[in-house]
Chain A
Amino acid sequence: MKSLPPRAIQIIVGSFIIFGILLLALAGILRPILGVIMDPFVAIQHWSSDRVMAIVDFFTLPREVTDLLKKNVDLEDEVSRLTSQAIQQAGQLSEAQVLYSLLDFARARPQFQYVASAVIGRDPSPFLRYIIIDHGSDDGIRHGMPVVTQQGLVGRIDAVIANASRVQLINDAGSTIDVRMQTLKQEAQLIGSVTGDLTLQMIPQDLELNSGEILLTSGLGGNYPSDLLVGQVASVNKSENELFQTASVQPVVDFSTLQAVLVITNFKSIDISPLIPTQSP
């Protein structure tokens, strides 16, 4: 019998060994041995991978930070835009609420015709109390027309140009209004001042005036329609040495926060000064 060549025997023996090892490995017998061999390798692999990832991060992270910064800026822009939008909408809501209130006032007094106007400025002089509104003679506004809000009387038109008007407030130093006390039915004069305070004058000494008394326009003098709410008596100053008592008045309108007003366009003020008798020499 011819013996196998040594090379073939090596291949066969090698194959058996490899096959045997595979069988042992598949049967799990070689796991402890493989563990001893592979664990250091895996540990080294893990360490190497960490280092490599650290180096990769070192080079790639700045770009990601830049991306994040850009996204952050974009988000901040978005937040700013939405905040601005929210503020704008809040302003519009506030304006709408003011206009609704003015509309309610106008509906409650259908005998008057109104032009709603926005307050766009104030007189630069600290001695004067005037506001500037955004409607003028083009909208039918004329000198002397009364100006009101839903709360009450504001003042009267003092000067007019085509698209704007100047309104003298009732607390201006040059303003005098004839008023009527709601419960006492007594008439008096309401005077403004340089500091914006309102003083009620020409009150008879025998009148029992108390704080809280409501003041309405009397219609006397022809400058304002009657029964417009003006203010409320805050305190009474009574001196026996004076012919009349006076009172401090709290206006119903907050003039510092005026946003919109109504101009009564179908009321024509009457200049009665020629009818007032003058002393002849």
Chain B
Amino acid sequence: MSILISFPILLITVILQTTAVSRLPLVNGSADLMLIVLAAWGIHDKGRTAWIWAIIGGLMMSIVSATPWILVMIPYLVVAVSAQLLHSRIWQSPILAMLVITILGTLLQHILEIAMLRFNDIAMNVATILGAVTVPSLVLNLILALPIYILVRDIGRWVYPAEQYE
């Protein structure tokens, strides 16, 4: 059931990302809806299918993005798995876990993308990138984290109605 509903949810996420979210930048940064959805699902799903969601979401995003697919996939997998780990073993507050995972996931994603650009000999000023791209993206992701967490929690309750969520 969880995997079945992942397709429409992640497809809608990709469509919203490319048509709406990417068109609403803050300075040069933009939010990553997929990363936030996967983090929220990782917290709610307790690690059962979050990694499958990450693979499906990563594949969908790599179709529309010019970023190499492996660089799209790695942060999503790390986010989905670490969301479950952080939630169940370290953090007792899922909202706090959500925010921490969003921050870590965004930073990891940007580090990988900067490394890719460096690898391709593209000149850049890292301080400018941090100020113009990474920090604004982080802010947007944190703004979206809470509403998406609530939305995904409701979907989680619908998928696993017998369980109690925090």
Contact = CB atoms under 8 A, between A and B. Distances in A.
A130 interface: yes
Contacts of A204: none
Contacts of B128: 194-195
A227 interface: no
Contacts, number: 79
A29 B93 CA distance: 99
Residue in B19, B32, B66 with the greatest tally of chain A CB atoms within 10 Å: B66
B117 A124 contact: no
Contacts of A274: none
Interface residues of B, number: 32
A132 B66 contact: no
B19 A121 contact: yes
Nearest to A199: B123
A216 B15 CA distance: 35
Contacts of A174: 120, 122
Among B65, B117, B123, B124, the most chain A Cβ lie within 10 Å of the Cβ of B65
A127 interface: yes
Given A126-B30, A127-B117, A173-B117, A121 B18 contact: yes
Contacts of B18: 120-124, 132
A191 to B, nearest CB: 8
Interface in A151-185: 158-159, 166, 168, 173-174
A248 interface: no
Question: Which one of A125, A159, A195, A196 has the greatest number of beta carbons of chain B within 10 Å?
Answer: A125
B105 interface: no
B16 to A, nearest CB: 10
Interface string B132-163: 11001100000000000000000000000000
A158 B67 CA distance: 12
B67 A125 contact: yes
B17 interface: yes
**Of residues B34, B64, B110, B132, which shows the largest number of chain A Cβ atoms within 10 Å of its Cβ?**
B64
A173 B123 CA distance: 8
Interface of B is mostly: helix
Given A174-B120, A194-B129, A124 B19 contact: no
Given A123-B22, A124-B17, A126-B29, A159 B122 contact: no
Contacts of A256: 23
A124 B122 contact: no
The CB with the most chain B CB atoms within 10 A, among A126, A173, A174, A194, is that of A126
Contact of A124 (B22, B123, B136): B22
A124 B96 CA distance: 26
A128 interface: yes
B22 A127 contact: no
A159 B128 CA distance: 29
Interface string A195-212: 110000000000000000
B117 A123 contact: no
28 contacts: A121-B18, A121-B19, A121-B64, A122-B19, A122-B22, A122-B23, A123-B64, A123-B66, A124-B21, A124-B22, A124-B32, A125-B113, A126-B25, A126-B30, A126-B133, A127-B110, A132-B18, A158-B66, A159-B66, A173-B117, A173-B124, A174-B120, A194-B124, A194-B128, A194-B133, A195-B28, A195-B128, A195-B133
Interface of A: 120-128, 130, 132, 158-159, 166, 168, 173-174, 193-196, 256
The 9 A-B pairs with the shortest beta carbon distances in the complex, nearest first, are A121-B18, A122-B22, A126-B30, A173-B122, A127-B113, A130-B66, A195-B28, A124-B17, A126-B29
